[in-house]
Structure 1
Amino acid sequence: MKLSRLAIFVTLLLVAVASGLFLVFFERHTEEVDRGFGPEARRNPYLAAHRFLDRLGIHHRRADNISVLATLNDGDALFLASSSQIYNADRLREFMDWIDSGGHAIVIAHQGIGDHEQDLLLQALGLGVTEGDLDLYFNRQLREVFGEEASELQGKTVSELMREHNRKLREEQRSHGSDENNHNTSKHSGASQQTAASSEATPANAESHNTQPRNPDIDPERLINLTSDGGTSYALYFNPRTAFTHEMMGQASDVDVDGEPLHWVAFQNIPTLSPLVYYERGRGRLTLMTDASLWQNDRIGEFDHAYFLAHLVGERDLVMITRPRFDTLGTLIQRYALELLVAGLLALAAWIANRSRHFGPLAPAPASARRSLLEHIRACGQFYWRQNRGERLFEQIRTPLRARLSGNQPYDATQQQYVAAKVAEKTGLAAAEIIDTLWGPAPHTQEDFTARLRSIQIIEAAL
């Protein structure tokens, strides 16, 4: 009994000592891990823009497709995430008429470089989209490897960047191995020095160490600086991968299109390429851009991107078409169920009316038609005549008749006239016709052939 109590006491004492040591030497460490955007932000790349507009009190809503033009007012603003959503000439005309009446549109140029699709909006303005410069800042994979250093490595190939990165890693590993040996010998002194240094650090230094700058460190020549009519300046950083081209770009800052001015803002180092184009039409305006990510979640907080969006929208109601969606067949059937039912009933009634003529007792089947013997004879005669066998048939018919009259003896002209006169008395035919039938040349036409055969039949009947 005493040993068990002693064991319990010793156990409790060890637990108390371990807890005390843990509380003395325990140090709370907080580490912030960036897990990326949440589910809602991944579904909607313009979520940050929506919340920014809500904060400014700008009314906005999302639409499914370009058919929303019929419901827009003249003073509304429309955002199209791709110019390819204007897919036919009717939509283009409707879109331009809406801008002419006072609408403001912000359109991102279609990014399908090299494909064979026609962009009706860009063609109407005489614009083209071409490949521009390469900026490593916009390469997400390289930014994950190099971090913010990617913007400082401009002009190098990917292989050179990877060799430089691997060299730095090897140097860090060697320096880390040498530091571990020194760390084992001066653990306590290093810990005390670190505690003293951390206590002497100012809050400003800690904040600057933990937070990253809002704007990337880039060359100022890559920025587009715009000044509004009210004097407000906006610094924008466009992705130079794609840019607009025009035959007059580099020679002038604007051009007339259908009597209205078309302006462009060129890059500072490339005057023949532009990421931003304005088109004044009637009482409205069209803003065309090549960078689709300027107002997306990961870049709207950089430079003056968000404020530039607010400047373009102003006090208008904004309608955003970011992911065009059309109604499915099931949705259309559900929406127009009454119309489909009426159309089906009308089609059924028309079918019944068409088939009602065949209802009732069956009519007797008609007798199968047979061709007469005369039709067969006529058909055979036509066939032989087309085969140039009429002369031989005629000779085969009149040769036996001529043999009966002359006994196969050749008759001269006097004898032929004598025989023809006797036969004419019995048949009533003309002597000349009898001579032509019995001793004349073979017929060459169907009418002559038929007349000769009729004469032969009369002569045979008389004999």
Structure 2
Amino acid sequence: MSRRWGLMLGVLGAALLCALGVYLYLKATPYQIEIDHGPSPQARNNPYLAAELFLRKQGLTVNHANGLDILPSLDPRQHSLLLLGDRYNMTPRQIDQVMNWTRAGGRLLFVAESLWDEKLRQSNDLLLDRVQLHQLLSKNLKDLPPDVNDDPYPNLTKLYLEDENAPAYAGFDTAFHLEDPKNLAQSWANSAKATHMMQLNHGLGSIIVVTDADLWKTPHIEQYDNAWLLWYLTADTAVTLIFNTDRDSLPTLLLRYFPQALVALVALIILGFWHFGVRQGPLIEAPPKARRQLLEHLRASADFLLRRNGQAHLLHALQQDILRRVRHRHPGFEQLPVAEQWLVLARLTGQSTRTISQAMIPRAKPRLASVEFSRQVAHLQSLRNAL
């Protein structure tokens, strides 16, 4: 009986599960959902990724670099160089290289980075000063065009082309204005209050200066005619974008990616100084404060000179002192023959010529005995004292 009821309960449970499955199948409605994971790592690292993809879609060859070290490998003919990053660390030599590359036929586009200082007659942007353009704040402009109020899009920059009835619109930052004090620009693009793009000829190439490049970054390139303007400025050329010329230094990279290793290195250096700075042995006793006698200093000095220079040096010094005193008392002494010099010395000192000759003639022996050396010194001192 229990087996029969168990079988019936199993069949009933299976039927209920099948019924539930059919019900859920008939009621369930499939749908699709998109989950936004944010920009890709490539887009986060490259703010101009959308601009590169757009230009490639137009058939242009596009590359990007982090510095100007690639400039010698770029053929200036039919090539556009876009300097879209910070350039405050550009050197005058690099600026000369860029200008020479442009003069040879390249197309250069860069962003004006600094305002013109009227007092200093320069800006902090060496490249902008080289092309002799000035960047000012639009709010400081005094003379505005008379038709500003009639402009339906005062905050958009208009680019007028030949054979076109309507201008192209670009979203430049209207807070800045480009000024051409020497009338070098061949073409330009303005908003209602200011100028935001200028083009100049330079040798076989051309230079395009803009007030900002944010309109070509990923969030803004699809707005207005921003993408078309970038294609128009680089049409029929290969394109190289440089947007990160400020490379992080090695200490900055180490501090960013290896802070624990740097802390360990500093601790190791401190421990090394502490280890080698520990005193190895007892302290040296301080010397007594009592001063030595003058005679002790003289004896010590004489012993030092004797050990360092030898007996001949001391005897020669005494002999030279005697000759110097004689020359002072007897002018022309050095011109006399040796025999007459001994006679002069004998007359001045009251010593015999034999004693004088024994004292003044250099000894051939390399080293004298102590008694003989003392006798020689005594003879010389007696002669010097007599003078």
Tell me the TM-score normalized by structure 2.
0.54
Q: Partner of 1:320 in structure 2?
A: 241
Q: Partner of 2:20 in structure 1?
A: 18
Q: Could you tell me which of 261, 268, 290 is aligned with 2:185?
A: 261
Q: CA deviation at 1:70?
A: 2.7
CA 111–57 in structure 1, closer or farther in 2 if over 3 Å, else same = same
Indicate the larger mover: 309-318 or 97-106: 97-106
Q: CA deviation at 1:226?
A: 1.1
Q: Partner of 1:234 in structure 2?
A: 168
Q: CA deviation at 1:37?
A: 1.3
CA 77–239 in structure 1, closer or farther in 2 if over 3 Å, else same = same
1:312-355 deviation line (CA, Å, top 9, x unaligned):
111111121122377999xxxxxxxxxxxxxxxxxxxxxxxxxx
Report the Cα distance in structure 2 between the residues aligned to 1:57 and 1:319, rounded to whole angstroms: 14
CA contact (8 A) 2:116 2:123 kept: no
Report the Cα distance in structure 2 between the residues aligned to 1:35 and 1:319, rounded to whole angstroms: 29
CA 325–86 in structure 1, closer or farther in 2 if over 3 Å, else same = closer
Q: CA deviation at 1:367?
A: 3.2
Q: CA deviation at 1:262?
A: 6.3
Larger radius of gyration: 1
Aligned residue for 2:36, secondary structure, equals coil
Residues 295-374 of structure 1 aligned to structure 2 (within 5 Å): 295-324=216-245, 367=309, 372=317
Q: Determine if the alignment matches structure 1 residue 223 to structure 2 residue 156.
A: yes
1:75-120 deviation line (CA, Å, top 9, x unaligned):
3111111361671222223322333333211112337999x98210
- Amino acid aligned to 2:210: M
Percentage of matched positions with identical amino acids: 21
Report the Cα distance in structure 2 between the residues aligned to 1:294 and 1:305, rounded to whole angstroms: 6
Aligned residue for 2:206, secondary structure, equals strand
CA contact (8 A) 1:266 1:274 kept: yes
- Amino acid aligned to 2:134: L
Residues 191-210 of structure 1 aligned to structure 2 (within 5 Å): none
CA contact (8 A) 1:266 1:276 kept: yes
Q: Could you tell me which of 19, 30, 34 is aligned with 1:28?
A: 30
Report the Cα distance in structure 2 between the residues aligned to 1:287 and 1:86, rounded to whole angstroms: 20
CA 99–230 in structure 1, closer or farther in 2 if over 3 Å, else same = farther
1:276-320 deviation line (CA, Å, top 9, x unaligned):
232233332211223232222222222221211111111111121
Aligned residue for 2:21, secondary structure, equals helix
CA 132–317 in structure 1, closer or farther in 2 if over 3 Å, else same = farther
Report the Cα distance in structure 1 between the residues aligned to 2:227 and 2:133, rounded to whole angstroms: 29
Structure 2 unmatched ranges of 5 or more: 141-151, 251-306, 324-346, 349-385
The structure where helix makes up a greater share of residues is: 1
Q: Partner of 2:4 in structure 1?
A: 2
Report the Cα distance in structure 2 between the residues aligned to 1:79 and 1:98, rounded to whole angstroms: 13
CA 73–263 in structure 1, closer or farther in 2 if over 3 Å, else same = closer
Q: Partner of 2:134 in structure 1?
A: 127
Aligned residue for 1:222, secondary structure, equals coil
- Amino acid aligned to 1:45: P
Aligned residue for 1:84, secondary structure, equals coil
Q: Partner of 1:53 in structure 2?
A: 55
Report the Cα distance in structure 1 between the residues aligned to 2:116 and 2:219, rounded to whole angstroms: 24
Report the Cα distance in structure 2 between the residues aligned to 1:324 and 1:310, rounded to whole angstroms: 23
Q: Partner of 1:118 in structure 2?
A: 124
CA 128–77 in structure 1, closer or farther in 2 if over 3 Å, else same = same
**Aligned residues: CA RMSD:** 4.2
Q: Partner of 1:184 in structure 2?
A: none
CA contact (8 A) 1:262 1:279 kept: yes
CA 109–2 in structure 1, closer or farther in 2 if over 3 Å, else same = farther
Tell me the TM-score normalized by structure 1.
0.46
CA 90–5 in structure 1, closer or farther in 2 if over 3 Å, else same = same
- Amino acid aligned to 1:367: N
Q: CA deviation at 1:377?
A: 11
CA 47–28 in structure 1, closer or farther in 2 if over 3 Å, else same = same
CA 113–321 in structure 1, closer or farther in 2 if over 3 Å, else same = same
Q: Partner of 1:281 in structure 2?
A: 202
CA 52–299 in structure 1, closer or farther in 2 if over 3 Å, else same = same
CA contact (8 A) 2:85 2:245 kept: no
Q: Partner of 1:243 in structure 2?
A: 176
Residues 32-181 of structure 1 aligned to structure 2 (within 5 Å): 32-71=34-73, 72-82=75-85, 84=87, 87-110=90-113, 118-124=124-130, 125-128=132-135, 130=137
Aligned residue for 1:278, secondary structure, equals strand
Report the Cα distance in structure 1 between the residues aligned to 2:92 and 2:234, rounded to whole angstroms: 26
CA contact (8 A) 1:278 1:287 kept: yes
1:118-175 deviation line (CA, Å, top 9, x unaligned):
2101223241354879xxxxxxxxxxxxxxxxxxxxxxxxxxxxxxxxxxxxxxxxxx
CA contact (8 A) 1:113 1:130 kept: no
- Amino acid aligned to 1:66: L
CA contact (8 A) 2:196 2:210 kept: yes
Q: Partner of 1:355 in structure 2?
A: none
- Amino acid aligned to 1:311: Y
Q: CA deviation at 1:54?
A: 1.9
Report the Cα distance in structure 2 between the residues aligned to 1:277 and 1:83, rounded to whole angstroms: 19
CA 65–299 in structure 1, closer or farther in 2 if over 3 Å, else same = same
CA 374–84 in structure 1, closer or farther in 2 if over 3 Å, else same = same
Aligned residue for 1:220, secondary structure, equals coil
Q: Which has the higher contact order (CA 8 A, sep 6+)?
A: 1
Report the Cα distance in structure 2 between the residues aligned to 1:40 and 1:112, rounded to whole angstroms: 33
CA 4–74 in structure 1, closer or farther in 2 if over 3 Å, else same = same
